[in-house]
Structure 1
Amino acid sequence: MYMFLFPRRTLVKDIMSKNMIVLKEDDILEKAINLMLENNLKDVFIQNENKDLVGLISLTDISKLNIEMLDKKSKVSNFMTKELIVVNKYDNILKCRDTMLEHKIGRLPVVEDKKIIGVVRDEQIRDYFYMKIEEIGEKLNHVINSIHEALTVIDENGKVVIWNKNAEKLYGVKREEIIGKDMDIFFPNAIMLEVLKTCKPIENIYHSPRKDTYVVVSAKPIYLNNKLVGVVSTDKDITDVKNLTMQLDKANSSVKFLQEEVKKLSKGNFDEIIGKSEKLIKVIDVARQVAKTSASIFIQGESGTGKEIFARAIHKHSEKEGLFVPVNCSAIPSELFESEFFGYEAGAFTGASKKGKMGIFELANNGTVFLDEIADLPMYMQAKLLRVLQEGEVRKVGSEKTIKINVRVISATNKDLKKMVENGEFREDLYYRLNVVQIDLPPLRERKGDIGILVTEFLKDLSAKNNKQIYKIDNEVVDILQKYEWKGNIRELKNTIEHMVVLCTEGVITKDLIPNYILENIENKSIKEEYPLDLNEAVKKIEIYNINKALELANGNKAKAAKLLNIPRSTLYYKMELYKIKCQ
């Protein structure tokens, strides 16, 4: 600790001053005195004609002389001290301090080849040590607060002198509340008070300061010059260790189950994607086409449009033998990205598993890594990811070896990644590396013809999941759901259906089960449209509206739409061509 706080390797050359007065032997004393006064210095160094250091004069020496008998015109050589104690620039400052104290002197000339090159004065030593004392305080405070355990120190009177951050966290008492106060005010049964009385250490005592918290306490007396000056206590919170042990036991007994679950998560099929709208079918066709290739795929889409479902389907259709490994980039702490992506060797850092860990790229070798929320990947990890994609290899944290990998990367985001590139928030080279093929998923408001299909499918699944018998859903409900904008897309629709299923008591989904925020949104949009006085234009508007409505209800089936409109199919075709109406 002493070496850590006061390095013995601090050398004279690091602190010596070159602010000094040097005179010749034949210079007069008056000159020396005047120079010291003018420069606010207390010493003058004398050198001979070869510029070798031969003596010094200090104001202290002069003050001891008889002023009335003093001849200021005399040479300085008549008054100088010739027996000098000198140091070299490679001596350490602790030696200088000890030398000054031993000989009761205030300065040490620094000499090299008999020539003076600097001086170490007592004030420099003092300033250095004052600075170091302040630095010690900062270091000690940092060390104390960096200790994983709760650290507490009381003095010989039982007053708290040290209370670190983990003590605050463990016991819920702030440092400013307890420092300088008697320990027994806060903790009358504290183990360290017992140690203060008996002067005997107590180790590894278990106790629970509050519910679901388990602590191991050790306390020892502190002696200075054989005198008791206090007690130090380390309280280790073992709650996490205990919980981790239980979790580990469960994990070990469930390895086979988890392996099967990973296989299930890797399943996916384009046939499982629900919907028949033209935009969705086009997107699926593109995804099928690129799935068999090794190209990196970038999926752009609003939140809730099913980006991960598409990624799983692409992986499944690719027939790659490796796993599909999904990663939510926004859920990984910035300091853990590298170890999560690339893994780490045993003991690579504090808290690392003794067995090391496989990273997601190694886990997904010969398979697919799905990087969801790729826009949230930190800049430093963008550079590392780019290198992995370019070189096809990873290096674990703490390892010098590289591991060859063959991984297909599918990335996704609901943010405008191209704009982020323009703003310097995302690497352009990585963007083009990831975006070999871009798939844009349409929001639900652009495929409203699929809402009826999705509602039917969700009702069936969620009824079974919640053990509910749903016999019917009112047409009015479907109509309202088709008018709503669905900013949360399919995820919001599914949550809404589950909300209605859970609250349904009669087996029929009715309007009163629809969440209020959806009804209010629809009501705000239902203000009647003012039609122009021109009857032809008014008829045109209402015909366009009714034809689109009928096509939506018929899911694009023109024969069914014509029947709903009560017009011949040929008339429907004619008006669709007239008004340039297309099926969604």
Structure 2
Amino acid sequence: MLENNLLHYRIREILSTNILKVHPHTHISEAIEKMLYENVPEVLVMDNFSEKGSLKGILTLTDISRIKKENIPLERPVGDFLQESVLSIDIDELVSRAREMLIENRIGRLPVTEEGKIVGIIRSDNLRDNYYMKLESINRQYKQIIHHMHEAVTVTDAQGYILVWNKNAEKLYDMKSEDLLYQKLEDFFPNALTLSVLKEKKPIENVYHSPKPNYYVIISALPVFIDGEFLGVVATERDVTEYTNLSLKLENANSEINLLREEVKKITTGVFSLGHIQGRNPKMQEKIQLAKHVSHTDTSVLITGESGTGKEVLSIAIHENSGRTGLFVPVNCSAIPYALFESEFFGYVGGAFTGALKGGKPGLVELANNGTLFLDEIGDLPIEAQAKLLRVLQEKKVVRVGSSKPIDVDIRIISATNRNLKELVQKGCFREDLYYRLNVVEIELPPLRERKEDIILLFNHFLKEVCRKNKISISHVEKDVFNIMLKYSWKGNIRELKNTVEYMVVVSQKGILNVDLIPQYILDSITEEKTVNKTQMNLEETMKRSEADLIKKAMADAKGNKAKAAKLLNIPRSTLYYKLKLYSMDKSVQ
């Protein structure tokens, strides 16, 4: 159904207008430079750029790669190497037609025309990205629909593992979804009607059932087949006892809907998410998946990475996804003086020291009981304090200052640092036994400059967040803003990007974000990079001129004898012939 919805869109709804046109006589090197600058994977070769101009052909990055492998001079015109007879498609055609043409002709793009004029291009990436966005939208809709249904809804796969357990199912059986998801149904309900459907693969409908005293439901369990393959069972249980409960508000969805899991896996550039952490970048997807995997365990996690990469946000997401009932207690280890370490971490009883509260005070460890203690900047914790912390982690007991009575604690430890703890261990600044206690699973977050795929995704996420927070509406973001966001190096990582978005939104006018709103230091940085690139180009030109002058002098000293000139230059004769031709000196030099 999702695929049909997308493929019935018109081309004009998903095409990309980010196209690059060049003349046939444009040098290959110039085309490469423009493609890199505009961040497009191909150039359209036109006989002229007027409305009557016609498409002569196309040159892609793949073609350029082949040209470079064959050592073809990049000063050659693109018209000598373009792909002719390029297929195109009208802007009002269906997306399904574009998909057919891409597959049948084994190509990755189609120029889009309107009244004979090139107006854009549709690439396989367009189809894939729009497919995922539609998939994500439907996934959100399914979550809300299933959790707001009056019936208790459960879904099991073909092996009997529970995939969906909605809010009314939780209420009916007084069992939380986080305790049941991905578990065998028969382990909890050995007489469930769903088990019969799993075995016989035949539906059971409208069966009167009493799951608990004074509570009655009508249950239906139906096998699910797609293309003849048995995928599992969907069961619904409708309350026929007390309809007044229908007005109760449902809590926010906190369990994962897995109906579309297999479809999501097919989208290689899809957005993986955990809490507020999300990303298309493959490295980031691996980190998110690892965080999801370990979140339901009590394993200690060490999160490393540069400042601003989102270490605390990831730690909160792991806690929220863990199902632990206690608090998430963050601690900045670099901000607590050693003199206050024990009283802050372990708490104290009344009268333990001068200035102590009369009733005493629980420490941070005690506050995190049944929850998560987040140790930020763990590398800055004084080594004297490390031994005391290690003892608490090993014994799972804490003793308040001024007391001798141990208090049992059940805490999950997540640590974070931008320092190299291994080096600190080698230098004797960090205890090796504490390091291995904390670093059971390490999650290293990549810097934003290595997550180019996620910059625009995060930009849009922060844009919505800032607009909602400040009650500001932004209707349009100019394309050049995104181009600059992608070119900037983001030394401050995600934190810097978020601050930049917030600044642009609060100083914007008329609901538009343009280049003029970008902080000047970012624009200056981009300009410096361009200057460096230009200097490098001038260096190449200078070296070529010097080489040409040397060859000309050698030919003059050899009185035109190429064999002698090659010997003077200490290069093979074939290389000299190539250079003479390259610098157009094969006839001019005698």
* TM-score (ref. length: structure 2): 0.44
**Quick check: which has more Rg, 1 or 2?**
1
